[in-house]
């Protein structure tokens, strides 16, 4: 029997972090490892962050502060990694290192107990242990852990949860940390074996970034783990976190955020792969994710998500060997210009002159003659592009205008400045470097 029987349907886990914003754009990076291999995840995480934290001298620890002074940090607003990715011991090392920095954008990552345990689920006791260690890291703020600790205190010892983390350095140079549990089981997290059976949580999490300069608007981020974003059956009726922000909003207190700008989804999800009549392979996001994007843009049950951009990070290859990948973003604005070959585009629309909206496939060129009329699109890493065999790839792009921050009388540029960095082992002994 679940320990959550006598708890409210949902508990709130709300954060207000003051950050420095220099313009209205939002710089995003998603990291796509080639394979699900827990023993390589920490080094991929370290190498990816090292792209943005520029060291002044070569150091053994990528984040160690040298006597020459603080390293520089390249501007970014969000970096998202996959689900079940970073071992908590590595997270502790990273938090203790980045706390020295003057600034750091938001980093969102799925966690796992260790790099040697194949199980990504945490026992309640394991969560309590690592949470106690995080609380001791200098520079953290106790209020960031209150809601999560309160939720955790109500959980039985035998239950297992899937946990994610989002952290940043705020405008006051403080280390801010958000932990969030998964609310919706995937089909792979329902098992006759207790150690493989995930308990569904009931903690709703939103992080609101408050700009120091009030000429810029707040940015509200909802961090999720994979199936949290899907319209799936749940143990408790109506316990899906997207719908809950609308239908169960009273649990969020007297002044909850009235919009979500970014849904950051750390995933581990197989994708649909098909062949065109000419024999070429193509992939697109699983139909249940595409259904979520449709509903977020138009269904009143997801009213706080009508202008949300979904950011998605995935493994190129699943643990089972099935195809994955397609890390990128969905944005609910028309596609107006062609994307580079490193990007796969899936549009929500129809060819000019046709009626009814649907998702484009690998046989459709949305900019061919006649061009498509589109209302939104998914831009993601091309799974058949160059250097797909790399250890990992980083896909960077700019949300030029968050949809809520754009006049309906003018065209929204959508995603811009798309580029890819590939990570390969270099030198002797080998070191993972992104270039």
Q: What is the pLDDT of residues 131-189, one digit of tens each?
A: 999 999 999 999 999 999 999 999 999 999 999 999 999 999 999 999 999 999 999 99
351, 359 Cβ separation under 8 angstroms: no
* Secondary structure percentages of the chain, helix, strand, coil, to 5: 20, 30, 45
The answer to whether residue 5 sits within a structural domain is no
φ/ψ of residue 8, rounded to 5: -60, 160
**Least confident span in 40-44, 162-166, 350-354, 377-381:** 350-354
Sign of CA dihedral 191, 193, 196, 202: positive
Q: 208: which strand partners? A: 16, 220
Instruction: Burial-class residue 214 by CB neighbours within 10 Å (0-12, 13-18, 19+).
Output: exposed
Give tens-digit pLDDT for 384-396.
987 888 999 999 9
Banded model confidence at residue 280, pLDDT cuts 50, 70, 90 = confident
pTM of the model: 0.94
In a domain, 387, yes or no: yes
CA distance 130 to 91: 10
Instruction: Assign 60 a pLDDT band (cuts: 50, 70, 90).
Output: very low
In this prediction, residue 54 carries a pLDDT of 67
Residue 49 lies in a domain: yes
- Tell me: pLDDT of 205 over 90: yes
How far is Cα 83 from Cα 190, in angstroms, rounded to an integer?
17
Is 267 part of any domain?
yes
Residue 3 covered by a domain:
no
Please, what is the average pLDDT of the chain?
92
pLDDT at 375 over 70: yes
DSSP H helices in 80-181: 88-98, 124-135, 146-152
Cα–Cα distance for residue pair 85/166, rounded to 1 Å: 13
Residue 356 is part of which domain span? 11-434
Residue 2 lies in a domain: no
**Would you tell me how many other CB atoms lie within 10 Å of the CB of residue 1?**
5
Q: How many domains does the chain have?
A: 1
Determine, yes or no, domain membership for 399: yes
Per the DSSP assignment, residues forming a β-bridge with 35 are: 317
Q: Which of 57-71, 239-253, 416-430 has the lowest mean pLDDT?
A: 57-71
d(CA 305, CA 42): 32
Asked, for residue 125, whether it belongs to a domain, the answer is yes
**Residues 46, 138, 57: CA angle, nearest 5 degrees:** 40
Q: What is the model's pLDDT at position 6?
A: 54
Dihedral sign from CA coordinates of 52, 316, 289, 415: positive
239 vs 179, more confident: 179
Tens-place pLDDT, residues 418-431: 999 999 999 888 89
Query: Where are any strands of DSSP class E within 81-197?
Result: 86-87, 104-112, 122-123, 160-161, 163-169, 175-181
């Amino acid at each position: 029997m679940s320990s959550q029987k006598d708890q409210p349907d949902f508990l709130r886990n709300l954060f207000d972090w003051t950050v420095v914003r220099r313009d209205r754009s939002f710089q995003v990076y998603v990291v796509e490892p080639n394979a699900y291999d827990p023993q390589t995840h920490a080094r991929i995480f370290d190498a990816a962050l090292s792209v943005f934290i520029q060291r002044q001298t070569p150091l053994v620890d990528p984040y160690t502060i040298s006597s020459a002074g603080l390293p520089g940090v390249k501007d970014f607003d969000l970096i998202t990694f996959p689900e079940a990715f970073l071992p908590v011991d590595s997270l502790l090392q990273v938090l203790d290192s980045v706390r020295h920095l003057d600034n750091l954008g938001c980093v969102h990552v799925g966690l796992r107990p260790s790099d040697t345990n194949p199980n990504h689920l945490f026992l309640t006791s394991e969560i309590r242990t690592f949470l106690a260690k995080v609380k001791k890291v200098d520079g953290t703020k106790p209020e960031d852990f209150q809601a999560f600790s309160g939720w955790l205190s109500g959980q039985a010892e035998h239950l297992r949860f899937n946990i994610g983390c989002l952290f940043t350095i705020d405008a006051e140079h403080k280390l801010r940390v958000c932990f969030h549990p998964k609310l919706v089981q995937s089909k792979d997290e329902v098992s006759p074996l207790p150690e493989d059976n995930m308990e569904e949580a009931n903690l709703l999490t939103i992080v609101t970034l408050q700009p120091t300069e009030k000429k810029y608007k707040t940015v509200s981020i909802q961090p999720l783990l994979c199936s949290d974003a899907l319209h799936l059956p749940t143990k408790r009726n109506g316990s899906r976190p997207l719908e809950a922000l609308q239908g169960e909003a009273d649990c969020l207190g007297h002044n909850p955020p009235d919009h979500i700008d970014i849904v950051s989804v750390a995933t581990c999800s197989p994708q649909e792969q098909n062949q065109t009549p000419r024999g070429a392979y193509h992939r697109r996001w699983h139909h249940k994710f595409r259904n979520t994007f449709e509903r977020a843009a138009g269904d009143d049950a997801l009213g706080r998500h009508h202008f949300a951009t979904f950011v998605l990070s995935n493994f190129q290859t699943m643990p089972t060997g099935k195809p994955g990948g397609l890390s990128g973003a969905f944005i609910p604005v028309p596609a107006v210009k062609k994307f580079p070959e490193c990007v796969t585009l899936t549009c929500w629309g129809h060819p000019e002159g046709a009626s009814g909206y649907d998702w484009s496939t690998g046989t459709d060129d949305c900019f061919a003659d006649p061009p498509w009329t589109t209302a939104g699109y998914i831009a993601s890493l091309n799974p058949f592009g160059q250097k797909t065999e790399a250890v990992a790839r980083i896909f960077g792009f700019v949300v030029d205008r968050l949809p809520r921050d754009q006049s309906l009388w003018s065209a929204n540029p959508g995603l811009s400045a798309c580029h890819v960095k590939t990570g390969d082992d270099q030198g002797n002994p080998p070191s993972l470097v992104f270039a």
